[in-house]
Amino acid sequence: MGRKDKTDRNIGGALPTSPPDLSTARDSILLIERLLRSLLQTTIDDLKDPNDASAVEDLTRFFSHFYDPTISPAERNDIIKNFQAEPPKAILGYPRSTAQFPCFSIILEGEEETQGLIGDYAGQTTLDEDVDDFSEYIGAFYNSTYGIYIYAEHPDVCVYLYQFAKSVIHAGKAFLFSCGVTSMTISGGELAPDETYMPENMFMRVLRVQLTAPMSVPAFMRADPRKIRLTGIFRPDVIVDGMPSGVTEITPEELGDGANTIE
């Protein structure tokens, strides 16, 4: 089988879901942590079966690319066997006491609104679409940083899983862009042992994914200042310096029909 016949089995090459048609999409913020987990877990599931000859061949291609210049073929084959004997698992959030290792733990490390839109206006339905409560949208762009923490009980396992995760996420850029991500960079490093955050005798690296993606909200959710009033704050029995304040309570009835109240 030629190299071109196997491009659909490249690391990270299989898309976990069909990309949306962004020209007709009416979605809000992407669940990026789930997209990252899906990229990792889909590839792991495709490669973890030791009885699947194509999976073994693909793992050999991958680890040969990274390790053949520096380690022997026998050691590289041990890595392949280790991956299939103890395949990692991709999870959301920090691992708990019941977590299985090795694992990829996907954490939202932070995000912030970075690029506003004029009047928060994010678009509307077109003339050929049905006009309903979702016909207009407000929104903004957000910068987010996700950490993919690699936990392993052996330093070499932590090293090769870090390279594995980096390759899968890098190869999945096209998929993430098709889902609405507009920019993306990858960084990472070794983490020092800390008994507060990691079990004893555990090795850990982190792969950080910084990306920008839009968030939209149906315009009908925008608070209308004409329909919101504050009540329940003033009371007629307020005493100021020993003297009655003369302040009387404002009731919802006095505000008129159609006014929402905030107690």
Q: Which pLDDT value is given to residue 122? A: 59
The mean per-residue pLDDT over the stretch 201-207 comes to 90
Number of domains in the chain: 2
Instruction: Please name the residue ranges forming H helices in 172-258.
Output: 173-178, 252-255
- Indicate whether 164 pLDDT > 90: yes
| Orientation angle between helical segments 155-171 and 32-47, nearest 10 degrees | 110
Quote the CA–CA distance of 121 and 141 in Å, as a whole number. 12
Q: Say if residue 251 is in the same domain as residue 177.
A: no
Query: Is the pTM above the cut of 0.95?
Result: no
Sign for the CA dihedral angle at 21, 136, 218, 212 comes to positive
pLDDT of 209 reads: 96
173 and 85 share one domain = yes
Eight-state DSSP code of residue 235: -
68 occurs within a structural domain: yes
Among 7-21, 67-81, 87-101, 231-245, the range scoring the smallest mean pLDDT is 7-21
Same domain, 146 and 241: no
Range of the domain at 30: 9-221
Residue 4 lies in a domain: no
Q: What is the pLDDT of residue 150?
A: 95
Whether residues 236 and 115 fall in one domain: no
Over residues 97-135, the pLDDT tens digits come to 777 899 999 999 999 988 666 656 556 555 555 655 456
Instruction: Assess whether 59 and 174 both reside in one domain.
Output: yes
Same domain membership, residue 235 and residue 139: no
Does residue 203 have a pLDDT over 60? yes
Residues 73, 201 contacting (CB under 8 angstroms): no
Q: Do 195 and 139 belong together in one domain?
A: yes
Lowest-pLDDT range, 68-77, 237-246, 252-261?
252-261
Task: Say if residue 124 is in the same domain as residue 165.
Answer: yes
pLDDT at 169 (0 to 100): 94
For residues 229 and 215, membership in a common domain is answered with no
Instruction: Give the HSE-up count for residue 8: Cα atoms under 13 Å, Cβ half-sphere.
Output: 3
Question: Residue 217: pLDDT above 80?
Answer: no
**pLDDT score at 45:** 92
pLDDT of residue 19: 47
Instruction: Tell me, yes or no, whether 1 lies in a domain.
Output: no
pLDDT of residue 63: 87
Question: Would you state the pLDDT for residue 220?
Answer: 62
- Percent of the chain scored above 70 by pLDDT? 61
From the list 160, 178, 213, the residue with the least C-alpha distance to 39 is 178
Which carries the bigger pLDDT value, residue 71 or residue 108?
108
Specify whether 154 is located in the same domain as 71: yes
Contact residues for 121 (Cβ-Cβ < 8 A; gap 6+): 136, 137, 138
pLDDT band with cut points at 50, 70 and 90 for residue 245: low
**Percentage above 90 pLDDT, the chain:** 31
Q: Please, which pLDDT band fits residue 233 given cuts at 50, 70 and 90?
A: low
Per the CB < 8 A criterion, the answer to whether 134 and 26 are in contact is: yes
Residue owning tokens 């970075």: 114
Please, which pLDDT band fits residue 208 given cuts at 50, 70 and 90?
A: very high
Highest mean pLDDT among 78-87, 115-124, 137-146, 174-183 belongs to 78-87
Between CA 112 and CA 120, with CA 118 as vertex, the angle to 5 degrees is 55
pLDDT higher than 80, residue 56: yes
Strands 243-244 and 228-230, bridge-based pairing? unpaired
